[in-house]
Structure 1
Amino acid sequence: MAEAITIARPYAVAAFSLAQEKNDLQAWTDLLAIVSQCAETAEVQAVLTSPAVSDVQAVDLLADVAGGVSGDAKHFLLLLAENNRLLLLPEIAELFGQLRAEAEQMMQADVVTAKPLTDAQKTSIAAALKKRLGKEVTITESVDDTLLGGAIIRAGDLVIDGSALGKLNRLANAIR
């Protein structure tokens, strides 16, 4: 997987630069989301890797699925096809999203709690993370009954374990 990300990075940076230059980040985000979902299906992968299908035909297929694409996007997809990189579209889309989030000072935070959060709690956590990280934060919530109470927050490289289970484990380690 790391190799695919490494190979996809220059393509994602190029797509992001072009989208930023044209002030068209949302359209590129939408396009990459659609074509990457297509590239993940076995049926489309079979078509994209078939020697009987030309690069132009493969790009036309993806463009049709996406509902038509701009000239720049079509050239980008054709470049990927010519370099046998269409199967990297999921990685390219992921990296593009990261570049966009960084440029827009946005961040995703995963919050794992013992019980579902209220809207007020989500707002409070997002505000605290914004203050600490200096970025707008979008909260993704999941529930894990084994935590007993509290929450575990993951935002980029930052991990805050405020769960009751985590506190008990730290206390047990301190006693030993």
Structure 2
Amino acid sequence: MLNYIKKSLALSTVITGEMATDDRQRLESLKNRLKAQFGVPVGVHMTGIPLAVSTLLTIFCYAMLQVSVWMLLFRLLGLPEFKVMMGVFLAAVVYCMVVMSTMFLTARGSLTGYKLHISAIALTGLMSIVYFIWTWISLLFSSVENYTPQITSLLGLVFFCLNIVWMNTSVFYRSIALTLHNRVWRKQLKMDKR
């Protein structure tokens, strides 16, 4: 079902293992194998757009549940609710820094960065699913005056699903192959400088 995501993780793992050499011929052969994976014609995968779209969808998914989560947290702690936006803002800044860091690490061909990016998406998706279930159960079993939580929970789930579908495309897979190719190339350049 998630074939391209599994393939890109497997490719990243194999390439990371095979890069642990200083043999120029093996590195060149590795680069050629990766060129075959991402294809020679220039396409959208060459621009970094696939990774940026994934990051934006992750941030949108995260943003949908923030106000409700912070309202609940402030009520539980007995804090004044007019300060909720401060909590939302601070959490958003930290979250964006984390997700952007994983995006930049992935763009540099880092297997760890890619795994962290997928983990951030999975954790955000899990929070979105829990939020969706909670809002719809509250709609069924209590009187609701405002349907905003149900709408935002549905939107968060849509953003999460779109992100999974997007990451499971050949375009995204080819962009990962390109980032790995560029990592091998940077290693070759460092070897040439020595």
Higher normalized strand content (fraction of residues): 1
With structure 2 as the length reference, what TM-score do the two structures score? 0.27
Higher relative contact order (CA 8 A, sep 6+): 2
TM-score (norm 1): 0.29
Give the helix-richer structure, 1 or 2.
2
